[in-house]
Structure 1
Amino acid sequence: MRFHRILRYLSDAPLRRRVTAATNKVEAFNGFSKWIGFGNGGVITDNDPVEQEKTVKFNALLTNAVIFHNALDIAEAVRQLQEEGHVIDPEDLAHISPYLTEHIGRFGEYSTHELGLEPEAYDPHLDVDFSPLREQGLTTAGLGRAA
């Protein structure tokens, strides 16, 4: 059965593109998560399994919080461009990654005075028509370029 799957993979270019795109997304996430968890060179030095689990879960929480923040920033940039009259191509948006790091000061000083402030309600809607991508089968998994 395993040999059959390998032959299917080798003979099916769209399947290879989907697998490559999915693999690239996972690797990008893992690289981003590793970049976020830079302390001790990314090595968990505690021998206590409970502390190890805390470290892994904290890194996952922090990684997802930064991804969410980046997604909010991207959505705000899209809205601003639309307000300025620009037409947003959904295929361009499909290629934008939330794994942005240039704006993060990992070694800076941080303030916690804003922790008690309640954020404004988040509007997840973007006025972009993604239906052409769906109709072409160009979902996020299908946008990989490698064959």
Structure 2
Amino acid sequence: MRVVISLKQKTAPAHVIVQRLTNSSPSDRLTKAFTNLGRIIKTEYILRYLTDKDLRQTVQRQLNKGEYRHKLPRWIFFADQGEFTTGDYEEIMNKASSLSFVSNAILYWNTIKINDVVEQLRQQGEDIDDKTLSHISLLPYKHVLPNGTYFIEDEGKG
């Protein structure tokens, strides 16, 4: 209770409490109490998961979204079969940042295009509610050409 009150009243910052729990021995009463509380919460969740079909479906839907989200960078990152082949940290971070940038650009483009379609349908009198829109994924990527298309102008032509 003292830990909870300290956190609520902001007399002890959370990082100090976590640091104390991390640095204390496993036999410390407070550490044992938090460990057991965590086990109780986890057990309660597992029992809810096993008995609640709606929860299982929600969790599965979120897992599927996460997996689908990871497919986009794998689709884009075709070179070297999607592996970083160099051990240079700076180059790996550069490639990872670029991959994240391109993935986010595709998601942004998809968002704009889907919004354009929805607005066009609404202007035509279609009733599209937000609940329906919540089921639309921004993750489609089959329209993306991972190798790109390059247009090169011939210098000889005017």
Task: Establish whether residue 65 from structure 1 lines up as the match of residue 65 from structure 2.
Answer: no
Task: Establish whether residue 79 from structure 1 lines up as the match of residue 119 from structure 2.
Answer: yes
Counterpart residue type for residue 48 of structure 2: R
The answer as to whether partners of 2:75 and 2:146 remain within 8 angstroms in 1 is no
Deviation at 1:82, TM superposition (A): 1.1
Task: Establish whether residue 20 from structure 1 lines up as the match of residue 60 from structure 2.
Answer: yes
Deviation at 1:3, TM superposition (A): 4.2
Q: How many residues are aligned here?
A: 111
Alignment-derived partner of residue 128 in structure 1 = none
Counterpart residue type for residue 88 of structure 2: D
Alignment-derived partner of residue 134 in structure 1 = none
Determine which structure has the larger helix proportion and give its number: 2
CA distance in structure 2 between the partners assigned to 1:88 and 1:3 by the alignment = 41
Alignment-derived partner of residue 51 in structure 1 = 91
Q: What is the TM-score of this pair, normalised by structure 2?
A: 0.62
Question: How big is the alpha-carbon RMSD for the aligned residues of Structure 1 and Structure 2?
Answer: 1.8
After TM superposition, what 4+ stretches of structure 1 lie above 6 angstroms from structure 2?
Answer: none
Q: How big is each residue's C-alpha offset from its partner over 1:38-60, in whole Å with a ceiling of 9 and x where there is no partner?
A: 22211111111221122112111
Counterpart residue type for residue 57 of structure 2: R
CA distance in structure 2 between the partners assigned to 1:8 and 1:57 by the alignment = 39
The answer as to whether partners of 2:73 and 2:100 remain within 8 angstroms in 1 is yes
Query: Aligned to 1:95, which of 135, 138, 154?
Result: 135
Q: What is the TM-score of this pair, normalised by structure 1?
A: 0.66
Bigger shift: residues 79-88 or 61-70: 79-88
Gaps of 5+ in 1: 112-147
Alignment-derived partner of residue 138 in structure 1 = none
Determine which structure has greater relative contact order: mean sequence separation of CA pairs < 8 Å that are 6+ residues apart, divided by chain length.
Answer: 1
Q: How big is each residue's C-alpha offset from its partner over 1:12-40, in whole Å with a ceiling of 9 and x where there is no partner?
A: 22221221121111111011121122222
CA distance in structure 1 between the partners assigned to 2:127 and 2:150 by the alignment = 37
Counterpart residue type for residue 87 of structure 2: N
Counterpart residue type for residue 69 of structure 1: W
CA distance in structure 1 between the partners assigned to 2:111 and 2:64 by the alignment = 19
**Percent of aligned pairs with the same amino acid:** 32
Deviation at 1:110, TM superposition (A): 4.3
